[in-house]
Amino acid sequence: MAKRKENPPSSDEIIENKWLVRFNREPFDTGTMVGFILDVNDDFTLLNAFDDDAGIIGFTVFRNETVKSYIVYSEPDWHESLVVKLKNLEPKERPNVSIDSIPDLLRTANENFPLVVVFREKMRNDACWIGKILEIKKKTFVMREISPNAEWDEKPTRFNFNDVTRIEFGNGYENNLALVAEYRENEKPR
């Protein structure tokens, strides 16, 4: 397994070299999160997530304060580095989203992707909320949620920004939910 270096590479170096990074976010995340860093600031990291089975998937933004530790797969002979090389994996282009704040992220992700996924892992690390953002206020936002059967909830839900630990978008699951919901909407008798 990769060992953490005394002087880890800078985020700019990690992004430039397209190295995979594995994040340990316990107890927020029950497993580890792996991907290519696309952007980072003092508060948030934008990751193009990687899955061993599916390869490159969608995007995740998480609060840096939730990271317990991380490993950068910077050595070319490490298993993870060889997988990237042998499968010719490249991170997706950085999406047009802002990671300056949770409100900015929600607004820009909502504008550029069909659905967003919100995690409140400090409260529940076994659940997420998927939907469209309807309203953004000073301390809260309102989301119209979509069910696992691609059916829209009638009543929207209000969330506090401070409760949000992670946001995802551009993954196959939520893209498929949006596709089915749109199909059903277009097939309704008029």
Same domain, 84 and 156: no
Contact 55, 101 (CB under 8 A): no
| Residues 85 and 112 placed together within one structural domain of the fold | no
Same-domain pairing of 3 and 36: yes
Structure-block tokens of residue 84: 């990237």
Report the distance separating Cα 185 and Cα 103, nearest Å. Answer: 28
Q: Which of 53, 76, 94 is the last residue of a domain?
A: 94
| Per-residue pLDDT tens digits for 136-168 | 999 999 999 999 999 999 999 999 999 999 999
Q: What is the CATH number of the domain that holds 31?
A: 2.30.30.100
**Residue 110, SS3?**
helix
CB-side neighbour CA atoms (13 Å) of 124: 6
User: Which of 94, 122, 142 finishes a domain?
Assistant: 94
Q: Are residues 133 and 188 in the same domain?
A: yes
Domain span at residue 144?
Answer: 96-190
Task: Give the residue from 44, 71, 94 where a domain finishes.
Answer: 94
Which tokens belong to 160? 């506090």
Domain count, the chain: 2
Band of residue 113 on the pLDDT scale cut at 50, 70, 90: very high
101 vs 89, which has greater pLDDT? 101
